[in-house]
Amino acid sequence: MQEAERVKSWGESIATLLHPRVIAMLFLGLSAGLPILLIFSSLGLWLREAGLSRSSVTMFSWAALGYSFKFVWAPLIDRLPVPILTASMGRRRAWILVSQTSIILAICWMALTDPASGGSSLTMMAMAAVLLGFSSATQDIVIDAYRIESADQDLQAMLSATYIAGYRIGMLIAGAGAIYLAERFGSSAEAYDYEAWRRAYLWMAAAMLIGVAATLLIPEPDHAASDKHAHDTAHYLRFLLLFALAVAGFILVFVLSGDTVKTAQTALTEALGNKALAGFLVELARLAIGITVAGAVAFACVRGGLANRDMVVDAYVDPVRDFFLRYGTSLAFLLLALIGLYRISDIVLGVISNVFYQDIGFTKTQIAGTVKTFGLFMTIAGGFIGGILAVRYGVIKILFAGALLTVITNLLFILLNEVGPDITLLYLVISADNLTAGLASAAFVAFLSSLTNVSFTAVQYAIFSSLMTLLPKIIGGYSGTIVDSVGYSQFFLIAALLGIPVLFLIIVAARRLKLAET
């Protein structure tokens, strides 16, 4: 990773905002941020108005699991050409357009399905939601690769800032926008109207055309990864079949293990005296078995000659090997630890923040106006500030500043807990917290981009982006339990202290990276 060779002037730093590729990332970010809330909050509200139980509604969130496992098929996206489109548009733009088209079709499919009509409607809605989650995660893979390949390192921070801003705007459109339209068209908790939700979702599909237009206008990256198997069509088809068989093996484990899982959860709950922990351990074991079976199927296919061994190694093994060869084993593990821990303080607190606001006495209207709307603009502002500062002073310095500010702003929640529902203090805390989150995210995304090799962009960044939320989300799932045990003030202190090791990791990593470049 390389920092800028000199400190840029304020004028030069701010001028990067007007770079055409920086502007393009705003619209691609919008396209990336729009689909996710159509699976979570907006869909959840639709299903509740349609009369579904809470347990049925929450199960639909599994449709977004593709975001956590996108690194599994990232090698396919990195290597497989799209017939006709790749030749005319280039590999990255072709895949972005394919994923966007698939997203639009999935949203339309959801719009044309009434979950309250009975019969197979819920199955159809679930299939459409899964398609939307898979297509959206695929779009993320390609846009991340495009962002990294489309500009040099000194522009990555600003590309990250505009991408994050666009992403947040897309989430606002799909969250507040879809809900507002559904209500405006006549649907409510007291009087469900399928036609209102259908029209709202069709408008969301239309909003995706903004991203499609951007894809058609942007140029293909100058530094796109080369492909030594570009003309091996038969090998690509066999590679795709291998992937399909491995996924089928993974799914089969979950289908066949239902009764066994229930029995194991019951036995482990009795042994541990903790149902939540028992369920987590059993599902973790189930996931590990599923991954093992999928790997065994893939290995057997390669050994049996079904797929080209060199192509499989090039797609899955070489990206990992390259990372360790470039940085050395010890530095590579240090960087992976930094990636896995950088957002831990922020995410662990964020999981329970809305519950905290409500618990201390803020109304839903105050939370929506302050946290969701005002907070969104503070995050976007923080992203742009982080991008400009990273361009001027370098990514590592702003990465450290973001981590330090995260620790400090988490401590402000202790003050809010002690004072109570003071709206002025809430605005102050939200301003500090969201500005910091935007600044840190812009620097962190730029840092991750700098670690990737242009030859394996999609795969390496998909691994990094999956790793950065894995541990924080696991710990965040227990934040409610921790609060029940120690109270909010102690929890916020713990969340802040979790960020201290990150500061030391950044200092050590910066020194090691500097030595590696000399």
DSSP of 58-102, one letter per residue? HHGGGGGGGGTSTTTTHHHHHHPPPTTHHHHH-HHHHHHHHHHHH
> Whole-angstrom Cα distance, residue 139 to residue 118?
32
Lowest mean pLDDT among 149-153, 286-290, 388-392: 149-153
- State the pLDDT at residue 28: 94
Is the model more confident about 313 or about 433?
Answer: 433
- State the pLDDT at residue 1: 44
Lowest mean pLDDT among 118-132, 166-180, 231-245: 231-245
Q: Which residue in 435, 482, 473, 501 sits closest to 347, CA to CA?
A: 473
Question: Once rounded to an integer, what is the mean pLDDT over residues 251-255?
Answer: 79
320's CB contacts (< 8 A; 6+ apart) are 463
Packing angle of the helix pair 318-327, 457-476 (nearest 10 deg): 80
- Give the number of other Cβ atoms within 10 Å of residue 345's Cβ: 25
Residue pair 93/145 in contact by the 8 Å Cβ criterion: no
Is the model more confident about 284 or about 210?
Answer: 210
- DSSP secondary structure, 408-453, as one string: HHHHHHHHHHHH-S-HHHHHHHHHHHHHHHHHHHHHHHHHHHHHS-
Residue pair 471/454 in contact by the 8 Å Cβ criterion: no
Question: Once rounded to an integer, what is the mean pLDDT over residues 215-235?
Answer: 68
Residue 378: how many CA atoms within 13 Å on its side-chain side? 18
* Fold match between domain 10-217 and domain 324-517: yes
- State the pLDDT at residue 4: 42
Query: What is the number of residues in the chain?
Result: 518
For the chain, the first-to-last Cα distance in angstroms comes to 11
Start-end of H helices in 177-222: 178-184, 194-207, 209-217
Is the model more confident about 248 or about 8?
Answer: 248
Q: Where are the domains of the chain?
A: 10-217, 233-307, 324-517
Average pLDDT value over all residues in the chain: 82
Superfamily per CATH, domain 10-217: MFS general substrate transporter like domains (1.20.1250.20)
27's CB contacts (< 8 A; 6+ apart) are 166, 210, 211, 213, 214
Question: Once rounded to an integer, what is the mean pLDDT over residues 419-432?
Answer: 91
- DSSP secondary structure, 113-148, as one string: --TTS-TTHHHHHHHHHHHHHHHHHHHHHHHHHHHH
Does 73 have pLDDT greater than 70? yes
Question: Once rounded to an integer, what is the mean pLDDT over residues 34-53?
Answer: 80
> Whole-angstrom Cα distance, residue 395 to residue 501?
19
Q: With bands split at pLDDT 50, 70 and 90, how would you rate the model's confidence at 477?
A: low
Q: Does the structural domain 324-517 have CATH classification 3.40.50.720? A: no
Q: With bands split at pLDDT 50, 70 and 90, how would you rate the model's confidence at 111?
A: very high
Does 146 have pLDDT greater than 80? yes
Q: With bands split at pLDDT 50, 70 and 90, how would you rate the model's confidence at 17?
A: low
40's CB contacts (< 8 A; 6+ apart) are 61, 64
Q: How far is CA 250 from the centre of its chain?
A: 22
Question: Once rounded to an integer, what is the mean pLDDT over residues 47-55?
Answer: 73
The token pair at 312 is 């499989």
- State the pLDDT at residue 2: 44
> Whole-angstrom Cα distance, residue 161 to residue 389?
11
Is the model more confident about 153 or about 96?
Answer: 96
Is the model more confident about 438 or about 369?
Answer: 438
> Whole-angstrom Cα distance, residue 116 to residue 217?
40
pLDDT tens, position by position, 353-367:
777 887 888 876 777
pLDDT tens, position by position, 427-474:
999 999 989 988 998 889 889 888 888 777 878 888 888 788 777 766
Lowest mean pLDDT among 12-26, 33-47, 107-121: 12-26
Q: Which residue in 303, 290, 302 sits closest to 248, CA to CA?
A: 290
- State the pLDDT at residue 375: 81
Q: With bands split at pLDDT 50, 70 and 90, how would you rate the model's confidence at 5?
A: very low
The token pair at 149 is 């390949």
Question: Once rounded to an integer, what is the mean pLDDT over residues 289-307?
Answer: 84
> Whole-angstrom Cα distance, residue 16 to residue 27?
16
232 class by beta-carbon count within 10 Å (0-12 exposed, 13-18 middle, 19+ buried): middle
What pTM, to 2 d.p., does this model score? 0.74
Dihedral, 432, 438, 439, 440 alpha carbons, nearest 10: 100
- State the pLDDT at residue 336: 92
